[in-house]
Chain A
Amino acid sequence: MAEKDKACDKDLPEAALVPSEQLKFINRFTVTRADACISCGMCASLCPYGVHKRIEGHARILPPDDRRCIGPSCEVNYFFCVANCPTNSLSVGTSETFISMGDPRWTSEMILATWAQSETGRPLPLDHPGNIGASGGGFDRLHFRLPEPKAKFDPDEICTAIDLNRRGSGPMIRIPIPIYGGGMSFGSVSLYTMLARAKAAKKWKTFTCTGEGGYPEALVPYKDNVITQVATGLFGVREETIQRTKIVEFKYAQGAKPGLGGHLLHDKNTPEVARMREAVPYTSLFSPFPFHSVYSVEDHKKHLDWASAINPTALMSVKVSTPNDVEMVSVGSYYAGAHIVHLDGGYGGTGAAPEIAKKNIAMPIEYAIPKVHKFLLNEGIRDQVTLLASGGLRTAMDVAKTIALGADGAVTGTADLVALGCVRCGNCESGRGCPRGIATTDPILDKLIDADWGAERISNLYNSWRLQWCDLLSRFGMTDIAELRGRTDLLRHADKPAKGGGK
């Protein structure tokens, strides 16, 4: 393979511990102490995790700190507090708060694991429950047929880089990890969130995307790592924003609301956002669908040519959703001159989308990738196209499965936000936006996120993901992530992964 001859970037960022005290509020288990407790302090002297604490001089023992509790499985230990309590006043159960968090696609395990990854940068074991959701289909039913782990792998020996331009002409862009950040507009997320993503992208020599809400000035220092999106609303699309970028992304459709334009509901359209979008503050902004300058493949080509004329050194990326004829759309985009075909499947994130569009219109990405991959192979143009997939990729394993199904790489979005502390409460569309300061442009709430802190967290997440991919590749005896592409034979389709190795 030609790609193997190319140098693989070894100069990758190191992980640094980025703790976040406030993200430690979730307790998996509840420890309750009944009134019968005599504050003898037995539990405090037994528990090695520090759930119970008795302060000398206090008449009563402190309420249990159940965040530290390891749960009922502790009963095998000699120090199990419930069994040792002389008054039988302790009990351990599952936590209601823990159950309240997450949903089938982003389970609470997955959210907590992603937080831990962003804090430490350490990889998740490949069989960790946080790698997989509970939605009962698609990625959540696909498992790698993992061989037993071999000897320790050396991440430096494994290349996870992908080429974004495979057409053989024009600028070559290689990113050291097979992902870049998907478009999130200014307005849908705060400037600090955008900055955090851009800083992380710069660190990792990969990209993030402006989304359709214009190109804020604060992102200009990161212009080599920021993709300019041209979406149907054309908000803030100007000659200079197209000229300063290395990749221009045309957003034809978005997986979370296929066949509909972008939505920014009135509350989030603050004066700052409205200025960027040249719109009236506090009006709801609905982008049209589709591009009203594109009614055919020929128009589409004209569109790309137009951007190429403004910036001849930029790569062209075409973001499309996943209709039945997605393979024809991809071929059309290739012949129109696109370097990157970016498929966005239905179950991805969004700042605001009609509920009916999210589940019911266009197919999930898991079906679109093999469809397009096989079609491009048969057309004989698979190796000239960089096929990226997005829409509901949550973990490193989702990205790996995407590649095994036939994509070259992936585009992620929501995972970045979870790294910043998103709890997936799903109120990004309403009122002042996000109570955690991520998906908001409220001048008070957006101060909750510090861009440098956020960049470190996202960078840690990428680091952790890269180590997971290295782990996976080394188990399969591969040294380059390109070897994984289209290896559906390494996958297994079932409700649960096979026990004990799996082959």
Chain B
Amino acid sequence: MFERYHIPLKTVQSRAAPVPKFVIVRADNCMNCGKCEKACIYGVHKRSEQDPRKMADPINQLCKNCFRCIQDCPQRSLVMMPGPEFRSLGRGTWTPLRITTIWGEAETGKIPVFGAGYRGMFTGPGYDGMWTDMSEIVRPTRDGIHGREFISTSVDIGRKPAYLDFGKDGSVETKFPPIIELPIPVVMDVTRLRTSSEGMLTGFAQAAGHLDTLLIAPPGLLPSGASAELNSHYVPAYPEGTDVDSIELQDGVRMVELQLGPSWKDDLKQFRYRFPGTVLSFRLNAAKDSESTVLDLVKSKVEVVHVLYDEESVELDSLDGRHAKESLRAIHKAMVSKAVRDQITLIAGGGIAAAEHVPKSIICGADVVALEKALVIALECRDCFTCSKGSCPINLHNAPADWVGGRVTNIVGAWRDQLLEVLGAMGLREVRRLRGELGRAIFYEDVEREAFSDVLGGSGDG
């Protein structure tokens, strides 16, 4: 019987102290009249439990920035300020808002919904400078929220033969390359995490099994229990220069990743000889010439390429690198122009910091998106770098595996639901069709030129 893919989501409470977006400071001239308590509908202001004559300190994480208490304070002794800890979260693409949004998604597994419209910048670098399309009239099964169960998010990892060969007796002679079908276009990659603990890795492994997706990890990193349990969801990733002959695969492994090095052609040959039924993926540090490298890989019938970007989605191996938005498009277009796009699966990893980055990467040409840092941010990581010194303000290394697994399942579930929203709005019924759908995306540079070329300074000369 057909079983619909479904990610069961349940609330996974946060472990760390909340980071309030706004902080209310009560000055000394407060006369404890309690008007702020009456004014606040969120319960920020309460009388002190020890001494009811006094007001307790404001519970800042409940504050929604409505200014009612400040307005009603007869002594003008309340001051609202943007939370200093909130403002210092993250950097670059990983804005404080993105980080806290991930925390919320990982806690509830729900799509973040807010009122009052869009509040941010008009556009921005990278993925912030593109919009996805929508369709005013869509067919019944493509209805955004009510028909979402009919939208497929399945993708295939592996090479698809362009045509079939038949023998004289009509039997299929094509040898099918190994292929993996995933129910979501998202895999997890822990090879580049700054730090990880046994609990975290076990939790990631649980989530991968739960979500029926792949977990990419260096061999030996996962605790043995976790990798055995993961079984076919485990993808060992070997560093550059690994001797293929020395690789020992545990049973059930469907895919292996090798860092692309100068000897990749020999590695490929040797791998094919030793593991004919296993998908091989080459990890490629994105660079200026990635297009030609990928074309070479296609020519040698490599099934999967995993293109790596840095935390900001910028190419790794080039000074002044391109953003994945441009880089992926270039790789995709190079393959399309050679009519080989379906012969290789493109996994893109690095800098996936928000739900919208998944559909946007896919539109730019990726088949599958790899989550890396987002996995740790989902665990309430402050992105503060102190782990490199062996300490963590939220004691992440103590996080229990079940908790980690729940949080990661939630974040992937919430992101998949948001992917469905985008697909529904575009009137697409499967995510495979989204890949490389550049005509249905709106790029800042293009629309800017189109709309404002007859405005002084509009074509960039202002």
Contact = CB atoms under 8 A, between A and B. Distances in A.
Interface in B78-128: 79-82, 101, 111-123, 128
Given A97-B80, A260-B425, A352 B115 contact: yes
Contact of B114 (A63, A95, A355): A355
A106 B119 CA distance: 7
Given A425-B67, A493-B456, A100 B115 contact: no
B421 A354 contact: yes
Contact of B123 (A137, A354, A425): A137
Contacts of A135: 120-122
B17 interface: no
Given A323-B135, A324-B442, A492 B457 contact: yes
A252 B136 CA distance: 7
A75 interface: no
A501 B290 CA distance: 50
Contacts of B360: 360
A259 B454 contact: no
Contacts of B134: 253, 258-259, 321, 323, 361-362
Nearest to B81: A96
Interface string B127-165: 010011111111110011110000000000000000000
B380 to A, nearest CB: 19
B95 to A, nearest CB: 12
Interface stretch (B217-225, B339-347, B368-376, B445-453): B445-453
Contacts of A265: 113
B16 interface: no
A292 B146 CA distance: 11
A361 B146 contact: no
B122 A364 contact: yes
Contacts of B1: none
A199 interface: no
Interface stretch (A2-10, A76-84, A214-222, A293-301): A293-301
* Chain A contact residues, majority secondary structure: loop
A429 B447 CA distance: 31
A484 to B, nearest CB: 14
B197 interface: no
Contacts of A106: 119
Contacts of B447: 363, 367
Contact of A295 (B40, B139, B146): B139
Contacts of A492: 455-457, 462
A415 B111 CA distance: 27
Interface in A240-277: 252-253, 256, 258-261, 263, 265
B431 to A, nearest CB: 15
Given A99-B82, A256-B118, A414-B116, A136 B123 contact: yes
Contact of B133 (A97, A362, A493): A362
Nearest to A391: B117
Nearest to B101: A355
* A contact residues, range: 35 or more
Contacts of A428: 115-116
A354 B121 contact: no
Interface in B146-201: 146
Interface stretch (B68-76, B235-243, B264-272, B278-286): B68-76
A423 B67 contact: yes
A253 B66 contact: no
A431 interface: yes
B80 A260 contact: no
Contacts of B79: 30, 95-97
Contacts of A353: 113-115, 117
Nearest to B462: A494
Contact of B136 (A263, A320, A370): A320
Contacts of A371: 450-451
Interface residues of B, number: 75
B51 to A, nearest CB: 24
Given A97-B80, A360-B131, A425-B66, A103 B115 contact: no
A350 interface: yes
Contact of A352 (B68, B113, B133, B450): B113
B422 interface: yes
Given A289-B145, A426-B114, A100 B81 contact: yes
B64 interface: yes
Given A100-B81, A329-B136, A363 B41 contact: no
Contacts of B424: 259-260, 289
B140 A295 contact: yes
A357 interface: yes
Interface in A369-390: 369-371
Interface stretch (A40-48, A138-146, A304-312, A474-482): A138-146
A174 interface: no
A332 to B, nearest CB: 9
A349 B81 contact: no
Contacts of B133: 323-324, 361-362
A449 B81 CA distance: 27
Contacts of B64: 425-427, 430, 435
B40 to A, nearest CB: 8
Contacts of A361: 131-134, 421-422, 425
A104 interface: yes
B22 interface: yes
A294 B140 CA distance: 10
B205 to A, nearest CB: 28
A65 B75 CA distance: 10
Interface string B420-433: 01101111000000
B118 A100 contact: no
Contact of A360 (B115, B132, B451): B132
B287 to A, nearest CB: 28
Interface in A419-467: 423-432, 435-436, 439, 445
Contacts of A105: 117-120
Given A96-B81, A358-B117, A427-B115, 12 more contacts: A96-B79, A99-B81, A135-B121, A140-B122, A350-B116, A356-B418, A359-B128, A361-B132, A363-B131, A369-B451, A392-B118, A488-B455
26 contacts: A66-B76, A97-B70, A100-B22, A135-B120, A136-B121, A258-B134, A260-B144, A260-B421, A263-B113, A265-B113, A288-B144, A289-B145, A294-B137, A299-B137, A321-B134, A323-B133, A353-B114, A353-B115, A354-B112, A357-B421, A359-B128, A361-B134, A362-B131, A426-B116, A439-B115, A492-B457
**10 smallest A-B Cβ distances: which pairs?**
A259-B425, A137-B122, A428-B115, A96-B81, A259-B134, A426-B116, A103-B119, A493-B458, A429-B115, A349-B117
Interface of A: 22-23, 25-26, 30, 63, 65-67, 95-97, 99-101, 103-106, 135-138, 140-142, 145, 252-253, 256, 258-261, 263, 265, 286, 288-290, 292, 294-297, 299-300, 320-321, 323-324, 329, 346-364, 366-367, 369-371, 392, 405, 414, 423-432, 435-436, 439, 445, 488-489, 491-494
